[in-house]
Structure 1
């Protein structure tokens, strides 16, 4: 930097200033008057004017040197003052720049810290939702086991009740629904696990950036505190060069901006997944509740049908048992009637037989003979009719007995079906969770 000109002091020389200090003209020396005898004393000696000129030159040189030194001291004083002011301004500007930079670093540090805390809170919320999914998945094991047990129990129904009725259709539909819900819950658990991993990875990235910002804040805050009176300042010649891997302010800010942007994206995705989990658990609970109600209604209807069928069969059985008793009494009456008619027939046959021994002309076809023959024919017809009726009655009794056995078997089948549906299946469905959404909150 050029220094301003200062007024120079006026110096008055005390002796004349020659053009040159040693400008001696040897030819102007006075000739010796003593001749050769004094030649040795005058060799290489100066004349008086030369001596005066030399003294004047030395004085001038000393005066010029003094003047130059004085001018240099004035310039040095001005330079020192200017350098001190410039160094102070430069240090204050550097301190202000460091302060601004420290403010920027603290801003990004606070933003990153906020993102880390929000990501951690969001991850905890998502982990809680994932736990709800796992509990809901565990809660579906009992309904699925109940449905499978119902289907297996109903396989032990006896024909003809071993039918594909509405209950079996609803149970199969319920089993498919529970399997679909379990698959959906498992896929959602995997999705939640992946999202939690992404949240934690982005949280680690933000934490690393935040940690660098904290360390940088400490360094820059320490640098702001340095001054000329600090005891721990020293020369570091190699520190003035830029590092090859040094970032630019734009890339530096872009990194934190990208980390925060990715954190916001992960938080948004996590929040959306939490909302989806809520909807999945709620919808699955509603579907399962409605299907359970449909299954229970089908069981109730089927049990009523079985009760009605069993009651109808029991009424028929009661009538059949009554018919069997009456038919047995009828058979006994027929047998007694046949026995009675056989006695009458024996009497008629005996009469005819005995009268066949009438001698000679007495063996006459008289009226008694015709009447006995007619009686035998009449009794034979009645006996044949009674025997046919007895056979019919015995066949009817056999049919009634077979019907009784069929009815009793059918009643037993219906009782077995009722026992399976009401006692085995419906009582087992009491263990069914009331609400899958409530079960997801239970410990």
Structure 2
């Protein structure tokens, strides 16, 4: 438009110009009617104005033509440049979208790989946790057996209520089971915590993977857009949308942080499994120790039962002999009492004879041979009675002691029977329910 020339266009009458032109070329004069009105025309152009008018028009047309040609050339160059620029820009945009798709696919694949690893680790840890829980549940049976054995043995009577080797082995068994349970509970807590961390990390990776999956689909759709696509339209780009967008470094850092977290939890899961391998060896050893301790307790029970059985047999034999001695002593007491009673008549006879002879008169009261014999007989009978009565007292005292011994033996035999019932019928019967090594290991 710089070459455009602005020229004022004066108003002129074309008919008047044409009329004047015909007059110059020798045209006939106007009719009288025209001449009659000549005095009333006041707006006629002069030839100079006429020439100036069309020359100005020609000049304007030339300027317009030049301006149009200039604009046309500039438009042609601009169309060519903008078309090339637009094609190049669109090509670059398509290329960048393709590179972006590759980046998203790479990160998405890495996320998916770690999601699979975390899922595998979590599944393995869940199986480990179930096995440990089964092993922990399995320890409840031997613990209940050992505690019940101690409780039953606390109901032993009298002298049998002793802290023997069986009780020592049972206490060792209880302590060993508690140690195993503490190890199992600690390991279960660690596994449960790691499972939760794995699940949280897996969920974060899945959210990131889902976002990248959606972004990949959108960018793939954008990459397929061409100038001939029918599903494109104009959309206004607002500043609010630009403010919500993240930059490339933060986008990369977000995914890298998730992957680092996944690496950390995977390593923790691996370390936990390695630790469990060690703990599994320890658990297997302690499980074997439990079975060995169970065998020790069973052996102690058998030995104790054998000792109690021997003691019971000896007590029963002694009880039988004591009963026989009681019977013999009772018969002896009866015999002694009869012997004492039997001495009553001879004693009365001898004493009566002495008494009667004491009434002999004067010199007849002589200590003769019969007198001496009677006196000796009375003394002998008295001595015999004293001896028999002392023997009777001793026999009765012995019988009393025998009765006390019988009662003590009977009570001790009852204690031994009660202890044997507790040991064999209660404790050893329950110990047959002791779980196997595989059960204690959680299989």
TM-score range, shorter chain: 0.7 to 0.9
Aligned to 2:406: 404
Give the drift of 1:252. Answer: 1.1
Residues 24-46 of structure 1, C-alpha deviations (whole Å, 9 max, x = no match): xxxxxxxxxxxxxxxx9xx9544
The answer for the alignment partner of 1:426 in structure 2 is 428
CA deviation after TM superposition for structure 1 residue 72, in Å = 5.8
Deviation (angstroms), 1:435: 3.8
Q: CA deviation at 1:195?
A: 3.1
Alignment of 1:298-317 (within 5 A): 298-317=300-319
Aligned to 1:352: 354
Partner of 2:233: 234
Distance 2:270 2:439 in 1: 19
In the alignment, which residue of structure 2 is the partner of 1:372?
374
Any conservation in 1 of the 2:156–2:415 contact (CA below 8 Å)? yes
Given the superposition, is the C-alpha separation of residues 295 and 82 from structure 1 closer, same or farther in structure 2, using an over 3 Å criterion? same
Query: Separation in 2 of the partners of 1:318 and 1:277?
Result: 63
Select between 161-170 and 184-193 the one with higher mean Cα deviation: 184-193
CA distance in 2, matches of 1:336, 1:239: 136
State whether residues 284 and 441 of structure 2, in contact with CA within 8 Å, keep that contact through their aligned partners in structure 1. no
Residue 212 of structure 1 is matched in structure 2 by: 211
CA distance in 2, matches of 1:335, 1:297: 55
- Is the Cα–Cα contact under 8 Å of residues 133 and 277 in structure 1 kept in the other structure? no
CA shift for structure 1 position 436 = 7.3
Asked if structure 2 preserves the Cα contact closer than 8 Å seen for 1:205 and 1:259, the reply is yes
CA root-mean-square deviation:
3.9
- Please say if 1:318 is aligned against 2:292: no
Q: 1:284 to 1:260 in 2, by over 3 A?
A: farther
- 2:391 matches 1:389: yes
- Segments of structure 1 that go 5 or more residues without pairing to the other structure are 1-39
Corresponding residue number in structure 1 for 2:33? none
Distance in 2 of aligned mates of 1:438 and 1:292: 13
For residues 45-96 of structure 1, what are the alpha-carbon distances to aligned partners after superposition, in whole Å with 9 as ceiling and x for unaligned?
A: 449xx979x97x9989877876776676556545544443443333333222
**How far did residue 101 of structure 1 move?**
1.1
CA distance in 2, matches of 1:349, 1:240: 151
Q: Does 1:417 align with 2:419?
A: yes
Alpha-carbon displacement from aligned partner over 1:321-368 (angstroms, at most 9, x marks no partner): 343344344434444544555554445434434544555544432223
Alignment partner, residue 247 of structure 2: 248
CA 1:271 to 1:284, structure 2 compared with 1: closer, same or farther past 3 Å? Answer: farther
Distance in 2 (CA, whole Å) between partners of 1:99 and 1:304 is 88
Paired with 1:174 and 1:81, the residues of 2 have a C-alpha distance of 95
- In structure 1, what is the equivalent of residue 196 of structure 2? 197
The aligned runs of 1:49-64 (5 Å cut-off) are: none
Match of 2:267 in 1: 268
**Structure 2 Cα separation of the partners of residues 159 and 276 of structure 1:** 50
SS at the partner of 1:117? helix
TM-score, normalised by the number of residues in structure 1: 0.75
Which residue does 2:258 correspond to in 1?
259
| TM-score calculated relative to the size of structure 2 | 0.75
**Mapped partners of 1:236, 1:390: distance in 2:** 134
Secondary structure class of the residue paired with 1:243:
helix
Match of 1:91 in 2: 90
Gaps of 5+ in 2: 1-41
Aligned mates of 1:291, 1:124 — CA distance in 2: 35
Paired with 1:242 and 1:405, the residues of 2 have a C-alpha distance of: 103
C-alpha contact 2:136 2:185 (8 A) present in aligned 1: yes
Say how many residue pairs are matched. 402
Compute the displacement of 1:262 (Å). 0.8
- Whole-Å separation in 1 of the counterparts to 2:286 and 2:195: 23
Q: Is the 8 A contact 1:102 1:217 kept in 2?
A: yes
Asked if structure 1 preserves the Cα contact closer than 8 Å seen for 2:139 and 2:440, the reply is no
